[in-house]
Amino acid sequence: MVSDIQSEKLAHEHPEQHEELGFLRKYWFSVDHKVIGIQYAITALLFLFFGFTLMMLMRWQLAYPGEPLPLIGSLFGETRMPDGVMLPEFYNQLGAMHGTIMVFLGIVPLAVGGFGNYVVPLQIGAPDMAFPRLNMLSYHVYFWGGVIMLASFFAPGGAAQAGWTSYPPLANINPVGQTFWIVGMLFLILSSLLGAINFITTIVQLRAPGLTWFRLPFFVWAQFVTAFLLLLAFPALQAGGIMQLMDRVAGTSFFMPEGLVVAGEVVEVSGGGSPLLWQHLFWFLAHPEVYVLILPAMGIVGEVIANNTRKPLWGYKALVYSALFIGFMSFIVWAHHMFLTGMGTVMSAFFQTTTMIISIPSVIVLTCLILSLWGGSIRFNTPMLFALAFLPMFGIGGLTGLPLGLASSDIHLHDTYYVIGHFHYVVAPGTIFGLFAGLYYWYPKATGRYLSEGLGKIHFWLTLIFMNGVFFPMLVQGLQGVQRRLFDGGVTYAHAQDVLWLNELMSFSAWGLAIAQVPFIWNFFASLKTGRAADRNAWGATTLEWLAPSPPPHGNFVTEPTVYHDPYEYSVPGMEQDYLPQHEPGPGDEGPGEGAPEPQPAGA
């Protein structure tokens, strides 16, 4: 009786085992983590491209301030670009929305929603995420958050224009686009929250037999820490968002000081609020957010490097402990974004100390990844090229951050292009290179075909050159004192004159970067049909996702995998092939039993 009911229940919950699903259920309202991962990835790639387009428009204005944009300039309408000349208000919208879209709608959904969703359940040998319907919901909430953000461009007065940080009081008195921004952001926060609960539960509960914590691939660890950051840091911005929404809609004064004068008139509010409170709440999220951006990329790079050096990652345990320590420390460094707010030297001293401390585990991660190359017979395929380029690019991004973490040097560099250069080195040639490495690496798993190596290499080299062409001059301009967020790129400033010519170089690099993506886009679609067919273990890799068929069916594995050893058993002495998958017992393995000896750290 009971089993009858249960099988009925199964049939009810998993009709896919019995019948073909309609198009909507299969591709739009899917509960399969792989479909949801691909939904996330494609949506996020489109948002990345859109956010990049906004920036290309800004780069025209910066290179040729006040000149009409040829050909397409007149398409934007009188309220944005009369006669093709960009209005400052529109420039501000582009700037605010570029940041918001790239971070919250592009990179995080691609790194966590896309790669995390697709790869984590496969790497831990699970049939799906722990809460499949919650997973579907989190994608749809993200999608509608994105729609609201896009819709804000058509609101009266345009989209949000107070920067991606939305500092009040400016954000409080801006046109209604800012309200769209807050509501969209609350959707994105909810989506991340649901996703984070799902990831942590999945990793804790659904690991295959024998897959102990220190046998997890580094990518899974990176996603695990990332999920905790999303879970615990985002609520601060949620609280801030609710307060800002109240300020804008109900006329409260959470962030409004008394006697604020706007356009010559005193604003009629009760006052008594604190603009600084928003900055604390915002950065309490937004600093951990930086690690949300970088940790998944580090995880991908770790996977790709181990696979293509054909040896275990150097210092696997050090990597894991560093990721955990980064996660913990990232909650107590936020006010290093606020050295200039006058919060006092004691606060500054505390936060610059914690900031110096958090740089240590980041350096350990980078060092372990570099030392992993030592003595390896490296395969220079496209994923590996992106992973290798990640190391020096993230290195530049990290090291240029140190002067910003110290109050005395930050006073000079704050709000200059140096900050923009630093941050973009971390996120663009840093994280995005990691994500490209992941796209090239796992594409054969998701489609059963390789991406073309030739096009991939063209894509890589052009992207590398143009990325540096965009971002390195920013560091130079910033050291010269050119401020960020100037809609004319600094032409009216005497101290900027010597470095103004760099604006043109950066703009042409940005447009070149767009052209450099053409081989990738072509490759991405063409390889679906014409790419070289890939084996289920496309790269001769050791982790569990390569045991599943390519592409994996609903439920992932034909039989439940059992794990026998560490994640990166490459070039095991005495074996004929140069890799020993986690699910295959190797020479001297007894089995996955409970009392199995704790495996030694890789490379020890």
Partner 1 sequence: MSTAIPYTSEPRPDTGVHNVKLGIWLFLASEVMLFGSLFAGYILLRVGNPAWGAGQGELSVPLATLNTVVLITSSVTMVLAWAAAMELDKTKFRLFMGSTVGLGAVFLVIKYFEYSAKFHHGIFPDHSTFMAVYFTFTGLHAAHVVAGMVYNAYLWLPNAKMMDSDPRMFANRVEAAGLFWHFVDLVWIFLFPVLYLL
Give me 299's structure tokens: 């995880």
- Binder to partner 1 among 128, 289, 410, 545 (CB under 8 A)? 128
DSSP labels, 456-498:
HHHHHHHHHHHHHHHHHHHHHHHHTTPBTT-TTTTTT-GGGGG
The letter for the amino acid at 12 is H
Is 284 a binding residue for partner 1 by CB under 8 A? The answer is yes
- List 416's β-bridge partners, or say none: 483
Closest alpha carbon to 28 in 123, 166, 190, 136: 136
- Binder to partner 1 among 376, 540, 551, 555 (CB under 8 A)? 555
What angle is formed at CA 476 by the lines to CA 474 and CA 477, rounded to 5 degrees?
A: 65
Is 10 a binding residue for partner 1 by CB under 8 A? The answer is yes
Q: How many whole angstroms separate alpha carbon 378 and alpha carbon 382?
A: 12
The phi and psi torsions of 262 (rounded to 5 degrees) equal -125, 125
The answer to whether 255 and 267 have CB atoms below 8 angstroms apart is no
- Binder to partner 1 among 79, 205, 377, 497 (CB under 8 A)? 205
Q: How many whole angstroms separate alpha carbon 197 and alpha carbon 189?
A: 12
Taking the complex as a whole, how short is the minimal distance between the CB of residue 236 and partner 1, in angstroms? 4
Give me 470's structure tokens: 């965009």
Taking the complex as a whole, how short is the minimal distance between the CB of residue 218 and partner 1, in angstroms? 21
Taking the complex as a whole, how short is the minimal distance between the CB of residue 554 and partner 1, in angstroms? 6
Give me 404's structure tokens: 């910003």
- Binder to partner 1 among 281, 428, 510, 602 (CB under 8 A)? 281
Taking the complex as a whole, how short is the minimal distance between the CB of residue 289 and partner 1, in angstroms? 14
Residue 14 vs 412, nearer CB to partner 1:
14
Total residues in contact with partner 1, by rule CB under 8 A: 58
Residues numbered 249 to 268 that lie near partner 1 (CB under 8 A) are 250-254
DSSP character at residue 261:
E
- Binder to partner 1 among 51, 113, 195, 273 (CB under 8 A)? 273
Residue 559-598 contact track with partner 1, rule CB under 8 A, x = bound: xx--------------------------------------
What angle is formed at CA 567 by the lines to CA 561 and CA 570, rounded to 5 degrees?
A: 115
- List 579's β-bridge partners, or say none: 570
Residue 176 vs 246, nearer CB to partner 1:
246
Is 159 a binding residue for partner 1 by CB under 8 A? The answer is no
Burial (0-12, 13-18, 19+ Cβ within 10 Å), 324:
middle
Please enumerate, as own/partner, the contacts of 594-597 that have beta carbons within 8 Å and a separation of 24 or more: 596/210, 596/212
- Binder to partner 1 among 198, 355, 537, 582 (CB under 8 A)? 198
The answer to whether 116 and 225 have CB atoms below 8 angstroms apart is no
Is 246 a binding residue for partner 1 by CB under 8 A? The answer is yes
Is 346 a binding residue for partner 1 by CB under 8 A? The answer is no
Residue 253 vs 503, nearer CB to partner 1:
253
Contact footprint for partner 1 (CB under 8 A) = 5-6, 9-10, 14, 16-17, 126-132, 193, 196-198, 200-201, 204-206, 231-236, 238-240, 242-243, 246, 250-254, 269-274, 276-277, 280-281, 284, 554-560
